[in-house]
Amino acid sequence: MQVIDIHNHFFPRSWPDLAARYGSPNWPWIKHTEPGKADIMVGDRFFRHIYAACWDPEVRLQEMDRDGVDLQIVSATPVLFAYERPVEHAADCAQLFNDAALELCSRGKGRLKSFCQVPLQDVDAACKELSRCIRSGHLGVQIGNHVGLKNLDDAGIATFLHHCADEGAAVLVHPWDMFGSERMPKYMMPWTVGMPAETQLSVVALILSGAFDRLPSTLRICFAHGGGSFAFLLGRLENAWHHHPVARGDCQYPPKHYLNRFYTDSAVFDERTLQFLVGTMGADRVMLGSDYPFPLGEERVGSLIRQSNLPQQTKAKLLSANATRFLGLESNSRAADNKSDAAGSSPIAPEPGQLTYSSYLKVPELLQLQQPQSSPPHHDELLFILVHQSYELWFKELLHDLDAVVANLRRAGAAPQSRDEVYEAARLLRRCTEITRVMVEQFTILETMLPTHFLAFRGLLEPASGFQSEQFREIEFLCGLKDEKMLRYHRPTPEAYASLKRRLEEPSLHDVFFGALQAMGKLAPAREGATDKEQFEARARAVHALYRDERHHRDWIDVCERLTEFDELVVSWRLRHIQLVERIIGIRMGTGGSAGASYLKLTLDKKFFPELWEARTMLTE
Ligand code: HEM
């Protein structure tokens, strides 16, 4: 059994002078006082005594051996969050300490892993840093339990949590910046009284707001310090929920229902409290967390669990199994198990008739679908077919997601107070942009085909042409770029013709987006007799107004940003396609009868959401 401590902290031995770097006062810095000892200072103010375990992996590993801990997941500390600072400073600061964490872990003999920190005051920047960190080896993220006045159910923070689930990142919520501090100036009361209450507030906010109903169940989130006062006061919350409608909030079920949606650590320092916590949360939901090596941490990490009267099986869960699941390390250990199974030559053989990889994915059918025209088949024709087919598959997924975006925005318009649909639209749009990014890249594979090799079978393809890609045209129509003339290329295939005609008549993503702004009162219905230009300007002004009121429209701005990015990436796709065409056939005519590259260049000015671009010009005026 591998004993894992999911809540402990580090400070690097040194770091740049942040006050000078950002030109603003009161950043944390480290003052080494004697060998192996240091003080953390915030500006001129003393903050905390620390010792070498914070920065020296050798010391940490010795103390881990002493305490019987195999793996620590280190986090920086809330004093470095910088959520109240300009986002670019917070993002830079996060990068600095995230890279320092990896550097420390690289010297930890495989026994140190890390959680990163992110500039949580800005969703995009936070998501970006999280993705970077997960790619570079962090297992998850430590976040503060609030950003100024925003609790964890805030729209932007919920989007970030969604992103963590998508990225498979574990989330450790740490209380910080405690409320009521002015009434607790002494005796470390912000830590002993404020922190547990802050954490309780965060859990309750996520439950009552209905955020847990909307967040994916794959989100792995843990609250530090035994979840603060939450477990002890759950009965009070439950009673209020059942008897006072005003206390119910927006969640679908009573609060107890959500206990399987989060974890807590075990940092409660008292056996009866630990027993109570495990009794309330369940043995699968509490994990060893020590707050090591800080003054309020567990002195001998793991001793509370080990010395308790909990059953052996529960102790094993708290010390190891629950953290393995929380951190997403299960698949690794399972892979290791499978490896040893395979080595012991006992792989699982599926029974006849059971679902298999091939039968589920229809692999044999899929592999039958490439039928070259050349005979004998030219070597590169297979690639030509496969690349086009893979684009068509991505187009299919894009249509699937864009349809869902339209449905969500339509619902958002029908219920302007509800924000869930807006987040969901933004999340799906992010997928669309990622797919399009891959599609832009994919052309390079086809560029490995020599022009001469393409010419060897090009003649056989006429009059087939990309013009006839029904799904490509559907995407254009669905987004709002409708051109009835294009229908003529689809006359030979009645089904394609019919579905394109339907798209032509249906409200587009563009229509639904601005319809929702109208329903929210951000865009007045078009005045009778208003010219196209006037209507266009009114729509651009509505977008402009959203950006000007960022505090209230973060979620909608997120949608705007994603739509803009999608627009931008589709233009990149068009451009890369033209470069490919020029590289392979120069300025020859296309098999579809167009002037080729020179025709395609005319499509570069096409935009799905020109108002979003116009709004940018207005913003800079
Ligand atoms: C050897 C590689 C390729 C060449 C030489 C080529 C050439 C062309 C040409 C000349 C056109 C203009 C219409 C015409 O007259 O035929 C066109 C349009 C188009 N092609 Fe390609 N293409 C290539 C690869 C691809 C790939 C991999 C895709 C992926 C789906 C694709 C999708 C399209 C689409 C959707 C159009 C219509 C564009 C529009 O109307 O805006 N092409 N292609």
Question: Can you spell out the DSSP letters for 25-89?
Answer: S--EEEEEEETTEEEEEETTEEEEEEEGGGT-HHHHHHHHHHHT--EEEEE--GGG--TTS-HHH
Report the separation in Å between the CA atom of 361 and the middle of ligand 1, taken as the mean of its atom positions. Answer: 28
> Is the confidence at residue 340, as pLDDT, over 50?
no
Q: What is the pLDDT of residues 167-188, one digit of tens each?
A: 999 999 999 999 998 999 899 9
Confidence (pLDDT) at 92? 97
Q: Alpha-carbon distance 65 to 183, whole Å?
A: 41
Core vs surface per residue 33-49: b (16+ CB within 10 A) or e = eeeeebebbeeeeeebe
Report the separation in Å between the CA atom of 466 and the middle of ligand 1, taken as the mean of its atom positions. Answer: 4
Average pLDDT over residues 273-291: 96
Q: Which residues contact 324 (CB under 8 A, 6 or more apart)?
A: 2, 4, 330, 333
Atom of ligand 1 nearest to the CA of 439: 29
Kindly report the protein residue whose alpha carbon is nearest to atom 28 of ligand 1.
388
How does DSSP classify residue 256? G
Atom of ligand 1 nearest to the CA of 443: 27
Ligand 1 contacts (CB < 6 A) are: 387-388, 391, 446, 454, 465-467, 469, 472, 577, 580-581, 584-585, 590-594, 596, 599-600, 603
Atom of ligand 1 nearest to the CA of 449: 1
- Portion of the chain with pLDDT greater than 70, in percent: 96
Q: Cα–chain-centroid distance for residue 607?
A: 27
Q: What is the pLDDT of residues 131-167, one digit of tens each?
A: 999 999 999 999 999 999 999 999 999 999 999 999 9
Average pLDDT over residues 360-377: 90
Confidence (pLDDT) at 350? 64
Atom of ligand 1 nearest to the CA of 442: 27
Query: Could you tell me the two tokens for 556?
Result: 């909608």
With bands split at pLDDT 50, 70 and 90, how would you rate the model's confidence at 330? confident
Confidence (pLDDT) at 417? 83
- Altogether, the residues listed in the chain come to a count of 621
Kindly report the protein residue whose alpha carbon is nearest to atom 2 of ligand 1.
581
Question: pTM of this prediction?
Answer: 0.55
User: Which of 50-59, 125-134, 415-424, 557-566 shows the lowest mean pLDDT across its residues?
Assistant: 415-424
Q: Which residue has the tokens 């006045």?
A: 149
Determine how many CB atoms are found less than 10 A away from the CB of residue 110.
Answer: 9
Report the separation in Å between the CA atom of 549 and the middle of ligand 1, taken as the mean of its atom positions. Answer: 42
Confidence (pLDDT) at 419? 84
Report the separation in Å between the CA atom of 131 and the middle of ligand 1, taken as the mean of its atom positions. Answer: 33
Average pLDDT over residues 193-211: 96
Kindly report the protein residue whose alpha carbon is nearest to atom 23 of ligand 1.
581
Kindly report the protein residue whose alpha carbon is nearest to atom 38 of ligand 1.
467
Which mutation among 383, 389, 500, 581 tests ligand 1's pocket best, with the greatest number of atoms within 8 A of CB?
Answer: 581
Kindly report the protein residue whose alpha carbon is nearest to atom 33 of ligand 1.
466
How does DSSP classify residue 588? P
Report the separation in Å between the CA atom of 614 and the middle of ligand 1, taken as the mean of its atom positions. Answer: 29
With bands split at pLDDT 50, 70 and 90, how would you rate the model's confidence at 351? low
Confidence (pLDDT) at 332? 59
> Is the confidence at residue 343, as pLDDT, over 90?
no
Query: Could you tell me the two tokens for 178?
Result: 């405690």
Atom of ligand 1 nearest to the CA of 465: 16
